[in-house]
Structure 1
Amino acid sequence: MKDLLWRLIIIATAGVFWIFFFIKEIPFDTTSFLSLEEKEMVAWQRAWMQINSGRTNHLETFKHMQKKSGPLKNANSHIVIGAPPVEKKLLTIGMSSVPRPRGSYLLDTLQSLFFASSSSEQKHFIVLVHLADPDPKWLDQMSANISTLFKPYIHARQLVVINTPLKSYLSLKDLKKNLKDTPAYVAFHSKQSMDYAFLMNFATNHSDYFLMIADDVKCAPGFVTQIATTVSAWENKHWVTLEFSQLGFIGKLFHTRDLPRFVHFLLLFHQEMPCDCLLSHFHDLMQQTPIQFLPSLFQHMGNYSSFEGKFNSLKDKEFKENDVGSPSNPAASIYTSLKVANDSVLMNSYSLDKNFFYAKSAEAGSHLTVVLDISAKVFQVQVLTGSDLKDKNQLKEGQVELGYDSTNRVNDCDDYILLGLLVNGILNKQVLSNKSGKKVKCVRLLVTATSPSGIIVRHINLWTE
């Protein structure tokens, strides 16, 4: 028994000695960022990542290490164009861009982003672009193009462009050799992870949430409202990222309070694997599976990769174009607590013809609820109130909610989530659903403030799969 105990002690001592030897004899190229304690942790983490690709239970250790690291003192990112907003926003939309051998998509992406957002939506976000290449000629040309094309957004403090000097980066020489990746690709994805780390590090204090997109994407109209509504519905639930695209690192939403931890993680393991794979490991470390919503709000539109200009026609199959055809309005029953006019027919609010429903009054808390005979996957909802001619009798203060039912209620649902608010009496929105594919049973129009006059509900239109 004593012999066995001594053997265990010798093995444990040898293991500790091996880690310290590894640190001192083969130092990492992250010395400008890490303390000795952090280097020990990196050695352990890298050994763990090589041996075990499964779930980690070392969140507290990583949190402790991250707290001791302090800010990134050598990350000297500076503003090239624009200025941050005076007041904190809801959302920072971030992207990193480098020269592409076959032309840039960045300007098209910025145009899509702003054109897909209304003026009211634009008040709630800023766009942060990291021009992540030291070539002065490329920087000057790209800066000039952005300044010319997007001057109004720059003056409104809605667009900020930054650059990080090459001296802030960790060395890209003698990187770890991966079995499947070429040295050139290892250097490419290592620098890309650092590009994203510096971008996120700069974004930490300007908003409550951070959305990562690529510099070659097309944005769905109203994507900001879709994200804001989803965040509201998940406000009291724990999450690490909400994902609005299935592709790579596109459409990933973070709490900005979580960015320092993820930035540190990217810098620690920048040479291990591409950043989208690192994000997957970060989810494991945080003991949280990613939460994905469909349909996707961003579509990859580039045909050539920023790595050696290789052809890349990757598309997100869950991204829906604007043309969704005619509504289907499956069989349903309609219930309401509104005061119905004597000659008005409640079912007209859900009909696909030109008839409409009229309520004499609408008090706060009253509703009109569509209850489907069979729960369905609803991917778009349209609610139109008011006269078709003069926009009279609109419901000015109201919202639309989606209901789910687990108790087989006849005329209601037991769980509702907010889909969106009426704007000028209208709502027209895609429905983002968790990948679990939960089906909708109810669509409820809820009055949030008493209307001074009667209201007209012209149409409640549903598109279902």
Structure 2
Amino acid sequence: MRDFLWKLIIIATAVVLPIFYFIDENPFDTASFLSLKEKEMVAWQRARMQINPGRTNHMKTFKDMQKNSEPLKNVNSHILLGASPTEKKLLTIGISSVQRPQGSYLLDTLRSLFFASSLSEQKYFTVLVHLADPDPNWLDQMISNISTLFQPYIQARQLVVINTPLKSYLPLKNLKKNFNDTPTHVTFRSKQNMDYAFLMNFATNYSDYFLMIEDDVKCAPGFVSQIATILSAWERKAWVTLEFSRLGFIGKLFHARDLPCFVRFLLLFYQEMPCDYLLSHFRHLLMQKKPIQFFPSLFQHMGNYSSFEGQLNSLTDKEFEGNNIGPPGNPAATIHTSLNVTNASVLMNAYSLDKNFFYIKEAKAGSHLTVVLDIPATVFRVQVLTGSELKEENQVKEGQVELGYDSTNRINDCDDYILLGLLVNGILDKQVLSEESGKKVKCVRLLVTAALPSGLIVRHINLWIK
């Protein structure tokens, strides 16, 4: 049945392609605020609705909104604390927060975010907080607390706090009642969609990428470096969102260039459904058919009470890995190398869990040492330690670690490698993020990228597996 529906979609697409051709000359409404890309989205959606009439309500809303003025024209978001960064960063981390009857988690989330990042990592991101509650007493208290606790980050332009007055919002009365939600809940989630939209709209020019988290999360140590590694690996691949948590709107990464389009999408359908549902539709319209999720998760929900009327919400992400992951569990494997090694048992010292180590007098650029697992496994952490433990000698100063996957059943190698990370001071210690749960690693390769002035010591190659 699903294949049949997709065939119908292809047919409908063929019907609608001429619409794309005439979009420039024949916009759907001469007063439309939509960009060409957004008009193409509408055309594509029209094709899909030939198969799924249930989406016609969305199209009607879309057309109705085009008759109105630009929804962002009257938005007046303004800075309460901090100042915009002086240069474009790699990443903006966005948080929207409102008052909770049971108390705020925002300060704990900010602590976790900064404490989980090294000083070098903090240079690559800006944190943008949207205080989206109109209560002036709450706003004053939060501004005071944030200013007191995070003054160094505010002064360094690493933390910016904004607010959007209620007059900027679209109507919050007589909203559509979907999903059997109560009117109060419909109002809450409709406003939340606009809270997120105004936050993203403000962040558009801050960075190359935008990461959405919520105001009640715990961050995994080194999450910025791990996201940067993923971005490097996915640089030439097409994607709309990358997901670093399985829960709600937590840990969702966007290209900053896509934010204006998604902002309008949120405002267009703000009363239709929750933001995570809208994200799923948006992703699908831009032809990313399924979520691209990475494991283990980098963000954990830590609040016990929802921001909606203080309702109990103790959801946790089972894929989140904390610090207590136990000792390595190196599974059975063999080691293959291009180094001039004559004794295989000595070579295995690099992979042993005892205090033995592997040493060789010469390692040229391009040399590798590759662990090949007997049975491919789900590896979630890799640690490679080179050089003397007491002195900074015999380290791999310039080298990298790669993960290998195999689809052709090769015996001593893998047919596809991806970069896990570079060694820093002879060491790599990283969590492994897999875009598909259950993807198995067969090889872990240490690659020397510059000749060593002296011999090489590999103390340990440690693997943690599920």
Q: TM-score range by the shorter chain?
A: 0.7 to 0.9
Q: Distance in 2 between matches of 1:364 and 1:94?
A: 42
Deviation per CA, 1:76-122, whole angstroms, max 9, x where unpaired?
11111111221211111101000100100000000001111111111
**Which stretch has the larger CA shift, 68-77 or 244-253?**
68-77
Is the alpha carbon distance of 1:401 and 1:229 closer, same or farther for their aligned partners in structure 2, counting shifts above 3 Å?
A: same
Q: Say how many residue pairs are matched.
A: 423
- Is the 8 Å Cα contact of residues 97 and 130 (structure 2) preserved in structure 1? yes
* Contact 2:240–2:283 (8 Å) recurs in 1: yes
Deviations, residues 251-297 of structure 1 (Å, cap 9, x unaligned):
10111111111101000000001101111111221121210111111
* Alpha-carbon distance in 2 for matches of 1:123, 1:130: 21
- SS of 1:434's partner is coil
TM-score scaled by length of structure 1: 0.85
Deviation of residue 364 (structure 1)?
2.5
Residue of structure 2 equivalent to 1:461: 462
Q: Which residue does 1:19 correspond to in 2? A: none
1:279 maps to amino acid: L
Q: Are the structure 2 counterparts of residues 415 and 179 from structure 1 closer, same or farther at C-alpha, using a change threshold of 3 Å?
A: closer
Letter in 2 for 1:173: K
Aligned partners of 1:240 and 1:290 also within 8 Å: no
1:230 corresponding residue in structure 2? 230
List gaps (5 residues or longer) in structure 1: 1-31
* TM-align CA RMSD: 3.0
Q: Which amino acid counterpart does residue 331 of structure 1 have in structure 2?
A: A
SS in 2 for 1:111: helix
Alignment match, 1:443: 444
Match of residue 78 from structure 1: 78
Deviation of 1:325 after TM superposition, in Å, equals 1.3
Task: Say if 1:131 and 1:161, in contact at 8 Å, map to a contact too.
Answer: yes
Q: Tell me which amino acid in the other structure corresponds to 1:228.
A: A
Aligned match of 1:144: 144
Q: Does 1:246 align with 2:242?
A: no
- The yes-or-no answer on 1:426 pairing with 2:439 is no
- Over 3 Å off, 4+ runs: 32-35, 47-56, 68-71, 338-344
Supply the distance in 2 between the matched residues of 1:187 and 1:412 (Cα, whole angstroms): 57
Aligned residue in 1 for 2:28: none
CA change 1:53–1:450 in 2 (3 A) is farther
Q: Does 1:412 align with 2:403?
A: no
C-alpha change, 1:422 and 1:52, in structure 2 (3 Å) is farther
Residue 171 of structure 2 corresponds to 171
* Equivalent position of 2:355 in the other structure: 354
Q: Secondary structure at the match of 2:414?
A: coil
Distance 1:343 1:183 in 2: 71
**Residue equivalent to 2:377:** 376
Give the SS at the match of 2:369. Answer: strand
Task: Kindly indicate whether the alpha-carbon contact (under 8 Å) linking 2:347 and 2:358 is maintained by their aligned counterparts in 1.
Answer: yes
Alpha carbons of structure 1 residues 387 and 53: separation in structure 2 relative to 1, 3 Å: farther
Structure 1's 106 and 298: CA in aligned 2 closer, same or farther, altered over 3 A?
same
CA distance in 2, matches of 1:361, 1:164: 62
Match of 1:195 in 2: 195
Cα distance in 2 for partners of 1:99, 1:73 equals 27
Q: Give 1:48 deviation, angstroms.
A: 5.6
Q: Which amino acid is the alignment partner of residue 328 of structure 2?
A: P
Structure-2 separation of matches of 1:55 and 1:175: 18
2:404–2:416 CA contact under 8 A, matched in 1: yes
**Paired residue type of 1:446:** L
Change beyond 3 A, Cα 1:179–1:158: closer
The 2-side partners of 1:358 and 1:70 are apart by 67
Of the structure 1 ranges 298-307 and 164-173, higher mean CA displacement relative to structure 2 is found in: 164-173
SS at structure 2 position matched to 1:321 = coil
Deviation at 1:212, TM superposition (A): 0.5
Give the 5 Å matches for 1:107-126: 107-126=107-126
Fraction of identical pairs, as percent: 76
Evaluate the alpha carbon distance shift between residue 150 and residue 300 of structure 1 in structure 2; reply closer, same or farther with a 3 A threshold: same
**Residues 340 and 358 of structure 1 are in contact (CA less than 8 Å); yes or no, is this contact kept in structure 2?**
no
Give the structure 2 partner of residue 259 of structure 1.
Answer: 259
Alignment of 1:42-121 (within 5 A): 52=53, 72-121=72-121
Assess if the C-alpha contact under 8 Å between 2:49 and 2:56 holds in 1.
no
| Counterpart residue type for residue 144 of structure 1 | S
User: Given the superposition, is the C-alpha separation of residues 55 and 445 from structure 1 closer, same or farther in structure 2, using an over 3 Å criterion?
Assistant: farther
Distance across 1 between alignment mates of 2:103 and 2:190: 22
SS for the counterpart of 1:112 is helix
Cα separation, 2, equivalents of 1:227 and 1:394: 26
Does the Cα contact within 8 Å between 2:95 and 2:215 map onto a contact in 1?
yes
Gaps of 5+ in 2: 1-30
Contact 2:71 2:267 in 1 (8 A): no
> Map of 1:9-48 to 2, 5 A cutoff?
none
Residue aligning to 1:15: none
**1:161-213 CA-partner distances (Å, limit 9, x unpaired):** 11111111111011112250011000000000000000011111111111100
Q: Is the 8 A contact 2:401 2:444 kept in 1?
A: yes
**TM-score for both structures, normalised by structure 2:** 0.85
Deviations 1:344-398 (A, max 9, x none): 9211100111011112233322211111111111111111111111232221221
Q: Which residue of 2 aligns with 1:14?
A: none
**Which residue number in structure 1 is paired with residue 271 of structure 2?**
271
Shift of 1:140: 1.4
Matched letter for residue 270 of structure 2: H
